[in-house]
Amino acid sequence: MIETGSPAPDFTLPDQDGEPVSLGDFAGKTVVLYFYPKADTPGCTTQACGVRDHLPNYAEAGAVVLGVSPDPVRRVRRFVDRHGLDFTLLADEDHAVCEAYGVWAEKSMYGRRYWGALRATFIIGPDGVVAHVIPRVTPRTHDDEVLAVLEQLAAA
């Protein structure tokens, strides 16, 4: 997993509309880059709706939020429409960006082993360097934790 102090790997992925979005598009801004396992599952919905509901707080902190999952664009679009998500979600269908950030891992559920995206968040500073990593995110407390970190970073 990418560590604090490392340059954030640049990428270009399609958003929910199929339009290319690059990390470099946000140079000079603080980016909250969060990875989630699968659109429209209970934990991912809780997390995404939390971000949606706290968007004014992120804007006040001067941060842009990008969510990334290994879903195809059509599934991401459906997720956005179903829950009224008004921020950018990116489709990493070949999981190349998940791999670059070190969040593509073997997982286990009900005795079944499979590969998938870990739920992790990276706060990337305006200089393109990872300022903070939350390696294990809890959907219900995600926004409180990220906003507290953004406040600490602003005060430093």
pLDDT tens sequence across 103-146: 998 887 778 887 889 999 999 999 999 999 999 999 999 999 99
Q: Using one digit for the tens of pLDDT, what is the confidence trace for 84-101?
A: 999 999 999 999 999 999
What's the number of domains the chain is made of? 1
Q: Which long-range contacts (CB under 8 A, 24 or more apart) does 83-89 make?
A: 83/45, 83/48, 83/49, 83/52, 84/52, 85/16, 85/48, 85/49, 85/51, 85/52, 86/52, 86/55, 87/51, 87/52, 87/55, 88/15, 88/16, 88/21, 88/64, 89/15, 89/16, 89/39, 89/48
Residues 14-54 pLDDT 10s: 999 999 999 999 999 999 999 999 999 999 999 999 999 99
pTM: 0.94
Instruction: Determine, yes or no, domain membership for 1.
Output: no
Residue numbers of the domain that contains 27: 12-155
Q: Is residue 3 part of a domain?
A: no
Residues annotated as part of the active site: 44
Within a domain: residue 6? Answer: no
* 83 within some domain: yes
